[in-house]
Structure 1
């Protein structure tokens, strides 16, 4: 009986716990997009997120970027490439802390056209 009660409680609480974390709603460039240029990199979240680490990587290695958004929790994050991105594939990786204190991470990829 106790096992069934605990199992039922876990089933009821699981969706609420999953909903407590911030989710990325949109990125610029969009996931999988092919673009002519990249004036900025951005992410929008449904709940404030403290972004603690970001990396932009190409097939040639890491690309230098500058954060425009500080370390305070925000629903939007922006960074700028410090140089024009050459044609090729890129991946933006991030790590952060959701408003409920849980560590989060994610990434998005895009291609710069020739």
Structure 2
């Protein structure tokens, strides 16, 4: 009888340490347009794509340089995307993007990054830089990174199925013990 209890305890402890790795990971920013530290031509749209689906109510604010007033526009959210459509094209200068979301696991996540909108003079000079950057990307030497990048998770469906399978396994072992093994003693 003690061996069975030790075995059940071992299964429970093993499941406890295995399944949280998949089920409780946070979503993270997968990509953005414009990307962090990127220099772009004038645009009206800032779009963020996350690794997993995000809950409704995310915020996306874009500020010019050191201005404390966010740009005016329409924010939309769908599945894994959060998008700001500005009321007018962004003028040349530096911009700060502040975003905050809640992942499907219920944890709030927020971050900030910057990008630059080039002036006409900078665009012609940056065209040469873009060619050099493209060459670096082809060589695999340059990768876009995000400051304070949050942890990424596997697909939500995959994590949920592992958690459900683990719970079912624990229930089957428990009922097997209670019904079959306890029933033999009576």
Which band: TM-score by shorter chain? 0.7 to 0.9
Instruction: Give the structure-1-normalised TM-score.
Output: 0.75
- Of 57, 64, 69 in structure 1, the residue corresponding to residue 63 of structure 2 is 57
Q: Does 1:35 align with 2:35?
A: no
- By percentage of residues, which structure has more strand? 1
Q: Could you give the per-residue CA deviations for residues 15-54 of structure 1, whole angstroms, max 9, x where no partner exists?
A: 8279710011100001110011113111111111135222
Partner of 1:48: 53
Gaps of 5+ in 2: 1-13, 120-186
Greater relative contact order, per chain length (Cα 8 Å cut-off, separation 6+):
1
Q: What is the RMSD computed on CA atoms of the aligned residues?
A: 2.3
Partner of 1:102: 107
User: Displacement, 1:84?
Assistant: 1.4
Relative to structure 1, is the Cα distance of residues 46 and 87 closer, same or farther in structure 2, using a 3 angstrom cutoff?
Answer: same
Number of residue equivalences: 100
Instruction: Give the structure-2-normalised TM-score.
Output: 0.48
Q: Distance in 1 between matches of 2:50 and 2:61?
A: 18
Higher Cα Rg: structure 1 or 2? 2
User: Displacement, 1:106?
Assistant: 1.3
Q: Distance in 2 between matches of 1:18 and 1:30?
A: 29
Partner of 2:98: 93
User: Displacement, 1:103?
Assistant: 0.8
